[in-house]
């Protein structure tokens, strides 16, 4: 028996779905056999997801003072980029189309949506495009402006409580 058909079988190299086995043969396919394989695939997918996020050219940060997002849009002209705010959702869209030439047709399009935190001041949202093609969005957070404890002054009226209650009762 030759091992060559087994070595060149494309199904060996095809990506496999990592799903738990069906529960028709309980005991034969135990979860102890499945868990190490599932963990290995999760790490792979987690690393792949992180790499894809890095390749999108977006850097989003949120600190106690502001929301900040930077996007690499160097392949788009300023008039091809739009930033819109609907409720607390910021939508950044870029659409670029070039006419076909002998090599083909170029078309680029992206849409990114971000929900701003509720404590961001959306009326002061700014977008800036640098000369090297980085679009920056920033919105200050209002949580730092609000003190956690407010002192309310006491006003001295110089009247007794009964006379104040009688005056309020007459007004009603």
Residue 97 lies in a domain: yes
Per residue in 18-27, pLDDT (tens digit) is 555 555 545 5
The average pLDDT across 54-60 equals: 66
Residue 63's Cβ-count burial label (10 Å; 0-12, 13-18, 19+) is: exposed
Report whether pLDDT(31) > 80: no
Q: How big is the chain by its Cα radius of gyration, in Å?
A: 31
Residue 85 lies in a domain: yes
Residue 101 lies in a domain: yes
Q: Is 158 left (phi over 0), alpha (psi -120 to 50) or beta?
A: left
What rounded mean pLDDT belongs to the chain?
71
Report whether pLDDT(73) > 70: yes
Within this chain, do residues 37 and 102 fall inside the same structural domain, yes or no? Answer: no
Within this chain, do residues 67 and 103 fall inside the same structural domain, yes or no? Answer: yes
Q: Provide the pLDDT for residue 97.
A: 81
Within this chain, do residues 103 and 92 fall inside the same structural domain, yes or no? Answer: yes
Q: Which of 3-17, 73-87, 104-118, 150-164 has the lowest mean pLDDT?
A: 3-17
Q: What is the CATH number of the domain that holds 96?
A: 2.60.40.790
Residue 115 lies in a domain: yes
User: CA quadruple 44, 45, 49, 55: dihedral positive or negative?
Assistant: positive
Q: Of the segments 32-41, 72-81, 156-165, which one has the largest average pLDDT value?
A: 72-81
Report whether pLDDT(66) > 80: yes
Within this chain, do residues 135 and 95 fall inside the same structural domain, yes or no? Answer: yes
Residue 3 lies in a domain: no
Q: Provide the pLDDT for residue 57.
A: 64
Residue 4 lies in a domain: no
Residue 162 lies in a domain: no
Number of domains the chain contains: 2
Q: Provide the pLDDT for residue 115.
A: 87
Per residue in 81-97, pLDDT (tens digit) is 889 988 888 888 889 88
Domain span holding position 108: 58-140
Within this chain, do residues 39 and 28 fall inside the same structural domain, yes or no? Answer: yes
Within this chain, do residues 69 and 132 fall inside the same structural domain, yes or no? Answer: yes
The average pLDDT across 88-107 equals: 83
Within this chain, do residues 113 and 64 fall inside the same structural domain, yes or no? Answer: yes
Within this chain, do residues 68 and 122 fall inside the same structural domain, yes or no? Answer: yes
* CA–CA separation, 123 and 142 (whole Å): 11
Q: Provide the pLDDT for residue 116.
A: 86
Within this chain, do residues 33 and 62 fall inside the same structural domain, yes or no? Answer: no
Q: Which of 20-29, 47-56, 74-83, 134-143 has the lowest mean pLDDT?
A: 20-29
Residue 41 lies in a domain: yes
* CA–CA separation, 69 and 106 (whole Å): 27
Within this chain, do residues 63 and 116 fall inside the same structural domain, yes or no? Answer: yes
Q: Provide the pLDDT for residue 76.
A: 87
Within this chain, do residues 21 and 33 fall inside the same structural domain, yes or no? Answer: yes
Within this chain, do residues 62 and 134 fall inside the same structural domain, yes or no? Answer: yes
């Amino acid at each position: 028996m030759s091992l060559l058909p087994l070595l060149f079988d494309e199904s060996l190299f095809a990506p496999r779905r990592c799903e738990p086995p069906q529960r028709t043969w309980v005991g034969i396919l135990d979860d102890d056999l499945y868990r190490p394989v599932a963990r290995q695939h999760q790490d792979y997918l987690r690393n792949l997801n992180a790499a894809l996020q890095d390749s999108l050219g977006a850097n989003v940060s949120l600190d106690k003072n502001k929301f900040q997002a930077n996007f690499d849009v160097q392949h788009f002209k300023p008039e091809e980029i739009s930033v819109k705010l609907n409720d607390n959702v910021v939508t950044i869209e870029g659409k670029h189309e070039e006419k076909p030439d002998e090599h083909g047709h170029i078309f680029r399009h992206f849409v990114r949506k971000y929900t701003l935190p509720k404590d961001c001041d959306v009326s002061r949202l700014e977008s800036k495009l640098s000369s090297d093609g980085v679009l920056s969005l920033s919105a200050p957070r209002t949580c730092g402006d609000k003190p956690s404890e407010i002192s309310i002054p006491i006003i001295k009226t110089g009247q007794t409580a009964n006379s104040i209650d009688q005056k309020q009762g007459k007004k009603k």
